Amino acid sequence: MQRTVVLLKPDALQRGLVGEIIHRFERRGLKLVGLKMMRASNTLLEEHYAHHKDRPFFEGLKKFMSASPIVCMLLEGVDSIAVVRKMAGSTNSREAELGSIRGDFSMSVSANIVHVSDSKEAARKEQERFFEKGEVFDWQSAVSPFLYGGDEK
């Protein structure tokens, strides 16, 4: 089943939104297969945001992402990458849909609460980047038959 990475950024932690956000994903039916807290190093952030390295906000973004620890989650579900991306909302929180995490909790483009994987390739790389093998848990969800139809899994 498809897996996707969610990072709860320092603003989520500072604002006491960690539980609320995890709760949203759990209620949706996404399965938590990895969860940890870490301080993002400069090296890790340079790699993670390499596609933005020439943008004027790059240094500020790294500083913001290392201002306090982050929480890393690995979520599993059918089409989880697209589902989680929709739940996060658009990058500019001021334009994000109401009901999305950014649309409900943020006013900012940069301090926008969560990072979520944007493609299969990104999800695979980000799982490797943020989780050691022993930090990912395969477990059977007892409610799985009530979350999906038999032809959906």
Report whether 57 belongs to an annotated binding site: yes
Concatenate the DSSP letters of all residues of 77-116 into one string.
Answer: -TTHHHHHHHHH--SSGGGSPTTSHHHHH---SSS-SEEE
Are the CB atoms for 124 and 138 separated by under 8 Å? no
Chain contacts with Mg ion (rule: CB under 5 A) = 118
- Token readout for 5 is 């990475």
When asked if residue 135 is in the footprint of ligand IDP (CB under 6 A), the reply is no
Active-site residue 115, yes or no?
yes
CB of 127 to ligand IDP, least distance (A): 16
When asked if residue 66 is in the footprint of ligand IDP (CB under 6 A), the reply is no
CB of 91 to Mg ion, least distance (A): 7
Q: Summarize the chain as % helix, strand, coil (round to 5).
A: 45, 15, 40
Number of residues that bind ligand IDP (CB under 6 A): 9
Pick what 57 binds: ligand IDP, Mg ion, none; C-beta below 5 to 8 Å, kind-dependent: ligand IDP
Catalytic residues: 115
